[in-house]
């Protein structure tokens, strides 16, 4: 199976976006994929803002992208675009960071007015970075994500069904494109 890097572009430690990604990570892992969760907010701000390519945390992030067969990119939508934190990371990555990779874009936001942010803001950047296949993305309204006091995420049924289909499509695309392990 494939190695999937699951990237949260949310600056918040209690982010619905990150919780949604971790929820979907479980589905991908259950399908046999190795999932590596990565919260961009854990990178040192100074290293991101100064584009410090030599900083150990940045080097580590670049290595995670290089190892991945597929990438799930999740972001909250602010002012009709993906987060500035995600933008800072994408700017640090080599222009070819997504070559040969299958990518699933996801977004969360407070209004349906932001639903096109995936297609008009995020997808063109991912394409310009060489993603071999960008699967259908999905936008989830914040009000359709409920976090219980113990941190458990509940996704409204309509979105949950759609997300299952989206993640399963991403998984199938990974299976078609991921390198086959050779044993010998």
Domain map of the chain by residue range? 3-177
Task: Give 11's contacts (C-beta < 8 A, 6+ positions apart).
Answer: 41, 83, 84, 85
Question: What pLDDT, in 10s, does the model give residues 81-134?
Answer: 999 999 999 999 999 999 999 999 999 999 999 999 999 999 999 999 999 899
**CATH no. of 3-177:** 3.40.50.360
CA pair distance 98, 96, nearest whole angstrom: 6
pLDDT at 13: 84
């Amino acid at each position: 199976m494939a190695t999937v890097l699951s990237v949260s572009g949310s600056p918040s430690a209690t982010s619905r976006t990150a919780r949604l990604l971790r929820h979907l990570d479980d589905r991908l892992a259950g399908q046999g994929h190795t999932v590596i969760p990565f919260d961009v907010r854990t990178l040192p701000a100074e290293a991101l803002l100064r584009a410090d390519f030599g900083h150990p945390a940045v080097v580590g992030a670049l290595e995670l992208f290089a190892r991945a067969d597929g990438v799930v990119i999740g972001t909250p939508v602010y002012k009709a675009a993906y987060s500035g934190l995600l933008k800072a990371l994408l700017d640090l990555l080599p222009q070819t960071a997504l070559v040969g990779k299958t990518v699933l874009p996801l977004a969360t936001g407070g209004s349906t007015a932001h639903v096109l942010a995936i297609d008009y803001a995020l997808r063109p950047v991912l394409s310009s970075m060489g993603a071999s296949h960008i699967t259908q993305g999905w936008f989830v309204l914040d009000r359709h994500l409920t976090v219980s006091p113990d941190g458990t995420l509940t996704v409204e049924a309509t979105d949950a069904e759609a997300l299952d289909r989206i993640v399963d499509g991403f998984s199938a695309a990974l299976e078609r494109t991921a390198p086959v392990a050779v044993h010998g």
